[in-house]
Amino acid sequence: MNSDAGSLIRASAATLPNLDHIIRGLLYVYVFSLPFRRLLFVERSGFIILMVLLVLWCAVNRRHFFTQTPIDIPLVAFVAWVALTIPFATFPAYSAKEFAKLLQQGLIFYVVAYFFQDRLCRIRLHAVLMGAICVISVYGLFEFKDLIGARPPDVDLLYVGSFTGAEVWLTTYLVMLLPVVFALALFEQGGWFKTFYAGTTLLARLLLCRQL
Protein backbone atom coordinates (compact mmCIF):
# COMPACT_ATOMS: atom_id res chain seq x y z
CA MET A 1 0.00 0.00 0.00
CA ASN A 2 2.80 2.41 0.92
CA SER A 3 4.69 1.58 -2.27
CA ASP A 4 1.55 2.29 -4.32
CA ALA A 5 1.14 5.66 -2.61
CA GLY A 6 4.81 6.48 -3.20
CA SER A 7 4.49 5.54 -6.87
CA LEU A 8 1.44 7.76 -7.21
CA ILE A 9 3.30 10.71 -5.68
CA ARG A 10 6.31 10.18 -7.95
CA ALA A 11 4.03 9.94 -10.97
CA SER A 12 2.33 13.19 -9.96
CA ALA A 13 5.71 14.85 -9.54
CA ALA A 14 6.73 13.67 -13.00
CA THR A 15 3.50 15.01 -14.49
CA LEU A 16 4.09 18.39 -12.87
CA PRO A 17 7.67 19.23 -13.89
CA ASN A 18 8.13 22.06 -11.43
CA LEU A 19 5.56 22.56 -8.69
CA ASP A 20 7.29 25.70 -7.45
CA HIS A 21 6.79 27.47 -10.79
CA ILE A 22 3.19 26.30 -11.04
CA ILE A 23 2.38 27.51 -7.52
CA ARG A 24 3.98 30.89 -8.22
CA GLY A 25 2.09 31.23 -11.48
CA LEU A 26 -1.19 30.44 -9.75
CA LEU A 27 -0.41 33.00 -7.05
CA TYR A 28 0.24 35.68 -9.68
CA VAL A 29 -3.25 35.07 -11.09
CA TYR A 30 -4.78 34.86 -7.60
CA VAL A 31 -3.24 38.13 -6.40
CA PHE A 32 -4.19 40.00 -9.57
CA SER A 33 -7.82 38.85 -9.40
CA LEU A 34 -8.41 39.90 -5.76
CA PRO A 35 -9.78 43.44 -6.33
CA PHE A 36 -11.93 42.51 -9.35
CA ARG A 37 -15.47 41.64 -8.38
CA ARG A 38 -16.19 39.75 -11.61
CA LEU A 39 -13.10 37.61 -11.04
CA LEU A 40 -14.29 36.38 -7.66
CA PHE A 41 -14.65 32.87 -9.10
CA VAL A 42 -10.93 32.96 -9.95
CA GLU A 43 -10.07 33.71 -6.33
CA ARG A 44 -12.27 30.91 -4.98
CA SER A 45 -11.31 28.29 -7.54
CA GLY A 46 -7.67 29.37 -7.45
CA PHE A 47 -7.49 28.92 -3.69
CA ILE A 48 -8.89 25.38 -3.91
CA ILE A 49 -6.39 24.49 -6.64
CA LEU A 50 -3.62 26.07 -4.58
CA MET A 51 -4.51 23.87 -1.60
CA VAL A 52 -4.28 20.76 -3.77
CA LEU A 53 -0.92 21.85 -5.17
CA LEU A 54 0.44 22.65 -1.70
CA VAL A 55 -0.57 19.23 -0.36
CA LEU A 56 1.09 17.62 -3.39
CA TRP A 57 4.20 19.77 -2.90
CA CYS A 58 4.46 18.76 0.77
CA ALA A 59 4.02 15.09 -0.15
CA VAL A 60 6.64 15.21 -2.91
CA ASN A 61 9.18 17.18 -0.87
CA ARG A 62 8.31 15.49 2.45
CA ARG A 63 8.31 18.78 4.35
CA HIS A 64 6.11 21.81 4.93
CA PHE A 65 6.46 25.27 3.44
CA PHE A 66 5.96 27.32 6.62
CA THR A 67 8.95 29.54 7.23
CA GLN A 68 9.79 31.68 10.25
CA THR A 69 9.07 35.40 9.91
CA PRO A 70 9.49 38.38 12.29
CA ILE A 71 5.72 38.73 12.73
CA ASP A 72 4.87 35.13 13.65
CA ILE A 73 4.07 35.81 17.32
CA PRO A 74 2.02 39.01 16.72
CA LEU A 75 0.14 37.30 13.89
CA VAL A 76 -0.70 34.21 15.96
CA ALA A 77 -1.74 36.43 18.88
CA PHE A 78 -4.02 38.48 16.62
CA VAL A 79 -5.63 35.39 15.08
CA ALA A 80 -6.15 33.85 18.53
CA TRP A 81 -7.72 37.07 19.83
CA VAL A 82 -10.12 37.26 16.89
CA ALA A 83 -11.07 33.61 17.44
CA LEU A 84 -11.85 34.32 21.11
CA THR A 85 -14.20 37.17 20.18
CA ILE A 86 -16.35 35.13 17.77
CA PRO A 87 -18.71 33.65 20.44
CA PHE A 88 -19.41 37.17 21.74
CA ALA A 89 -20.07 38.74 18.34
CA THR A 90 -23.49 40.12 17.41
CA PHE A 91 -23.62 37.72 14.46
CA PRO A 92 -21.34 34.76 15.30
CA ALA A 93 -22.03 32.94 12.03
CA TYR A 94 -20.95 35.94 9.97
CA SER A 95 -17.92 36.49 12.19
CA ALA A 96 -16.93 32.85 11.74
CA LYS A 97 -17.01 33.28 7.95
CA GLU A 98 -14.83 36.37 8.20
CA PHE A 99 -12.46 34.50 10.51
CA ALA A 100 -12.14 31.78 7.88
CA LYS A 101 -11.10 34.48 5.40
CA LEU A 102 -8.49 35.68 7.90
CA LEU A 103 -7.07 32.17 8.15
CA GLN A 104 -7.07 31.93 4.35
CA GLN A 105 -5.09 35.13 3.94
CA GLY A 106 -2.73 34.12 6.74
CA LEU A 107 -1.98 30.93 4.83
CA ILE A 108 -1.42 32.93 1.64
CA PHE A 109 1.06 35.09 3.56
CA TYR A 110 3.20 32.09 4.48
CA VAL A 111 2.94 30.65 0.98
CA VAL A 112 4.21 33.94 -0.47
CA ALA A 113 6.92 34.18 2.20
CA TYR A 114 8.29 30.79 1.17
CA PHE A 115 7.83 30.66 -2.59
CA PHE A 116 8.86 34.26 -3.28
CA GLN A 117 12.23 34.39 -1.55
CA ASP A 118 13.99 34.91 -4.88
CA ARG A 119 14.36 38.60 -5.80
CA LEU A 120 13.17 38.11 -9.39
CA CYS A 121 10.00 36.39 -8.18
CA ARG A 122 9.32 39.25 -5.77
CA ILE A 123 9.77 41.79 -8.57
CA ARG A 124 7.24 39.91 -10.67
CA LEU A 125 4.81 39.83 -7.75
CA HIS A 126 5.26 43.58 -7.27
CA ALA A 127 4.54 44.09 -10.97
CA VAL A 128 1.33 42.05 -10.66
CA LEU A 129 0.20 44.15 -7.68
CA MET A 130 1.05 47.39 -9.45
CA GLY A 131 -0.69 46.24 -12.62
CA ALA A 132 -3.91 45.53 -10.73
CA ILE A 133 -3.80 48.89 -8.93
CA CYS A 134 -3.05 50.70 -12.18
CA VAL A 135 -6.03 49.11 -13.97
CA ILE A 136 -8.33 49.82 -11.01
CA SER A 137 -7.16 53.44 -10.75
CA VAL A 138 -7.36 54.27 -14.45
CA TYR A 139 -10.86 52.83 -14.82
CA GLY A 140 -11.98 54.53 -11.60
CA LEU A 141 -10.79 57.94 -12.83
CA PHE A 142 -12.60 57.48 -16.16
CA GLU A 143 -15.70 56.37 -14.27
CA PHE A 144 -15.54 59.53 -12.15
CA LYS A 145 -15.15 61.67 -15.28
CA ASP A 146 -18.22 60.05 -16.86
CA LEU A 147 -20.28 60.71 -13.73
CA ILE A 148 -19.31 64.38 -13.82
CA GLY A 149 -20.40 64.73 -17.45
CA ALA A 150 -23.95 63.46 -17.19
CA ARG A 151 -25.31 61.63 -14.20
CA PRO A 152 -28.76 60.81 -12.85
CA PRO A 153 -29.83 63.01 -9.93
CA ASP A 154 -29.82 60.03 -7.56
CA VAL A 155 -26.19 59.06 -8.32
CA ASP A 156 -23.53 60.54 -6.03
CA LEU A 157 -20.07 61.33 -7.39
CA LEU A 158 -18.65 59.33 -4.51
CA TYR A 159 -20.23 56.17 -5.93
CA VAL A 160 -17.17 55.22 -7.93
CA GLY A 161 -16.39 51.56 -7.49
CA SER A 162 -14.18 50.89 -10.51
CA PHE A 163 -13.89 47.11 -10.94
CA THR A 164 -14.30 46.44 -7.20
CA GLY A 165 -18.08 46.81 -7.35
CA ALA A 166 -18.56 49.28 -4.47
CA GLU A 167 -17.03 52.56 -3.35
CA VAL A 168 -16.30 51.20 0.14
CA TRP A 169 -14.34 48.26 -1.29
CA LEU A 170 -12.44 50.59 -3.62
CA THR A 171 -11.52 52.99 -0.82
CA THR A 172 -10.41 50.14 1.45
CA TYR A 173 -8.31 48.63 -1.33
CA LEU A 174 -6.59 51.93 -2.09
CA VAL A 175 -5.95 52.74 1.58
CA MET A 176 -4.32 49.33 2.12
CA LEU A 177 -2.22 49.29 -1.05
CA LEU A 178 -1.15 52.93 -1.40
CA PRO A 179 1.58 52.69 1.30
CA VAL A 180 2.98 49.62 -0.47
CA VAL A 181 2.96 51.36 -3.85
CA PHE A 182 4.57 54.48 -2.40
CA ALA A 183 7.27 52.46 -0.64
CA LEU A 184 8.12 50.60 -3.85
CA ALA A 185 8.31 53.87 -5.78
CA LEU A 186 10.47 55.44 -3.07
CA PHE A 187 13.01 52.65 -2.62
CA GLU A 188 13.30 51.40 -6.21
CA GLN A 189 16.79 52.26 -7.47
CA GLY A 190 15.77 53.54 -10.88
CA GLY A 191 14.77 52.58 -14.38
CA TRP A 192 11.32 52.02 -15.80
CA PHE A 193 10.22 50.12 -12.69
CA LYS A 194 10.57 53.27 -10.59
CA THR A 195 8.69 55.28 -13.21
CA PHE A 196 5.92 52.68 -13.32
CA TYR A 197 5.63 52.59 -9.51
CA ALA A 198 5.62 56.39 -9.28
CA GLY A 199 2.96 56.70 -11.99
CA THR A 200 0.79 54.08 -10.32
CA THR A 201 1.16 55.90 -6.99
CA LEU A 202 -0.02 59.13 -8.60
CA LEU A 203 -3.04 57.49 -10.25
CA ALA A 204 -4.09 55.71 -7.06
CA ARG A 205 -3.64 58.89 -5.01
CA LEU A 206 -5.78 60.91 -7.42
CA LEU A 207 -8.55 58.32 -7.27
CA LEU A 208 -8.39 58.13 -3.49
CA CYS A 209 -8.73 61.92 -3.27
CA ARG A 210 -11.99 61.60 -5.22
CA GLN A 211 -13.22 58.95 -2.81
CA LEU A 212 -12.57 60.85 0.44
Condensed to tens digits (0 to 9), the pLDDT of residues 115-166 reads 998 888 888 898 888 888 888 887 777 776 655 555 555 555 456 666 776 6
Query: Does 133 share its domain with 201?
Result: yes
pLDDT at 28 over 90: yes
Query: Does 195 share its domain with 124?
Result: yes
Taking the C-alpha atoms of residue 212 and residue 128, their distance in angstroms, rounded to an integer, is 26
Domain count along the chain: 3
Query: Does 39 share its domain with 18?
Result: yes
Contact 164, 35 (CB under 8 A): yes
In our burial notation (b when 16+ CB lie closer than 10 A, e otherwise), range 55-87 reads ebbeeeeeeebeeeeeeeeeeeeeeeeeeeeee
Average pLDDT over residues 82-95: 89
- Nearest 5°: the CA angle 23, 27, 33 is 150
Query: Does 122 share its domain with 165?
Result: yes
Query: Does 205 share its domain with 165?
Result: yes
Confidence at residue 7, expressed as pLDDT on a 0 to 100 scale: 55
pTM: 0.76
Question: Which structural domain range is residue 76 located in?
Answer: 68-116
% of the chain at pLDDT higher than 70 = 79
* Residue 24 pLDDT level (bands cut at 50, 70, 90): very high
Taking the C-alpha atoms of residue 17 and residue 12, their distance in angstroms, rounded to an integer, is 9
Query: Does 129 share its domain with 188?
Result: yes
Residue type, 206: L
CB neighbours of 205 closer than 8 A, spacing ≥ 6?
178
For residue 63, give the DSSP letter: S
Confidence at residue 212, expressed as pLDDT on a 0 to 100 scale: 55
For residue 39, give the DSSP letter: G
Confidence at residue 160, expressed as pLDDT on a 0 to 100 scale: 62
Query: Does 212 share its domain with 129?
Result: yes
- Which of 6-15, 26-35, 118-127 is least confident? 6-15
- Nearest 5°: the CA angle 54, 103, 88 is 155
